[in-house]
Structure 1
């Protein structure tokens, strides 16, 4: 029962990703061919591999992480606060900084990671990029040999399914139906590529990523039957 979980033991997170290079032509010939083969099923005959390349950030083999935002609860008496912070910049450094946070503050058995569609996207994406950068996986992301009930991950989309595996429910849809302020009031995921490569506006991406992290926490609170956070309870550090 998620109502029995201690909120202070959960690290909420969201990531933003982009293709590893701005242009398809920046890839070497081997990587271009690999992208052509990898994306063929999704794009079918509607797009060429080059035309489809702005979506390459979805795949860890062809993309990179430009921001990881995290949030966690703290309680002082009756005062509840949700603190957010972000890691951004050069990918290898932000991954190491994120790993150091896990090791120093969220490495115990009681600690859990939570994201929306995290089990399908955020958690494996981070792990794959760490391996690509020859970063040893922290315990919370190393799932080799673990049984399903030993995996320290929560997924708000999975919790919402209640055993139904037929559908995908977006973060935007869940916030809407649960009466939570939408995090998609500026850019959305489809605009991160342009915002990063053309506008060079990482600050806008950070704000967007942090809003998604807050939304994940808000959804988790609603699933527990708790009151959602007010603006006064959210602190950016």
Structure 2
């Protein structure tokens, strides 16, 4: 290699390292960027107050993209459409050809078990101390669903967390409403079954049993004998007057 190219290559190497320089720890407000044992840059958030409501549609979209990212980097760069641009060592172009955003997620140091995710505009490399970078920022109190850089451990969701209870309550409500509507149907079904299986119901439906259609023989034992026409103890009442069906004449009895 000619000696004249050595200074040029050295200069290009220095410039490339200077461009990819979002690895410097620092603090702004109550948030800090610190390095973990593996050398990765991680966010440590600290704020006693909940984040204010955010109305920036782009930042809200980026927050959702970063929280549900399958890449698992706690700090990452995105464009305004949510396309992943690179990790912390990604060089921010200067000048910016388009809007660049950086999203960070980390454990809160002032509240154990809580996490914070924030997204803001990225102006240049190592813009932690640039106050203008935080003019457009949004944050939510929740971690990512997957983390691969070791900055923190994703908390395991309990079976009885608020979301699960909400879903369970909705299921119970739906089942209760369905059972309430099915109860009249069961009663109607039971009444129809009683009508269809009764003798008169079968006659009306034309499905009478064969034995029900056979005429029954006349049973004379259902009527009192001819010699007993007065009820004992009430001589003025004829037994035949108490019978609603007219007593027919037979060989053994004549009215």
Task: Report the TM-score, using the length of structure 1 for normalisation.
Answer: 0.22
Larger fraction in helix: 1
